[in-house]
């Protein structure tokens, strides 16, 4: 099973959760902000907008934190007890 990726809207501070790789997650958040739910087209349509740093991946106003040491797996910066993903 994929890791849960927390994507931040860097403009509003809202969070969204995805079960895919971090790059796909930020692309999905960006596309869905424009009501584009054709997921099969995301990579082709939006991958050129993706930016990467040592610890972040972002697309437009959406970003996530990654750990280079763990092959790109998402890491938590601080505890977030706002939702329980297992319930």
Within-domain flag for 22: yes
- Domain extent, residue 60, equals 5-70
Which of 81 and 5 is assigned the larger pLDDT? 5
Burial of 37 from C-beta contacts in 10 A (0-12 / 13-18 / 19+): exposed
Residue 62 inside a domain? The answer is yes
Residue 75 lies inside a defined structural domain of this protein: no
85 band by pLDDT with thresholds 50, 70 and 90 = very low
Token digits for 31?
């596309």
The model's pTM is 0.75
Number of folded domains that form the chain: 1
Domain assignment of residue 65, yes or no:
yes
Cβ-proximal residues to 25 (8 Å cutoff; 6+ apart), any chain? 5, 7, 18, 64
Q: Please indicate whether residue 18 or residue 68 has the higher confidence score (pLDDT).
A: 18
pLDDT at residue 1 tops 70:
no
In a domain, 40, yes or no: yes
Quick check: 52 pLDDT over 90? Answer: yes
Residue 31 falls inside a structural domain: yes
């Amino acid at each position: 099973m994929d890791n849960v990726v927390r994507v931040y809207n860097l403009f509003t501070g809202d969070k969204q959760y995805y079960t895919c790789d971090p790059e796909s997650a930020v692309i999905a958040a960006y596309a869905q902000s424009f009501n584009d739910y054709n997921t099969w087209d995301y990579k082709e349509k939006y991958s050129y907008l993706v930016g990467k740093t040592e610890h972040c991946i972002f697309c437009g106003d959406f970003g996530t934190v990654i750990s280079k040491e763990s092959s790109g797996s998402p890491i938590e910066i601080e505890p977030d007890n706002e939702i329980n993903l297992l319930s």
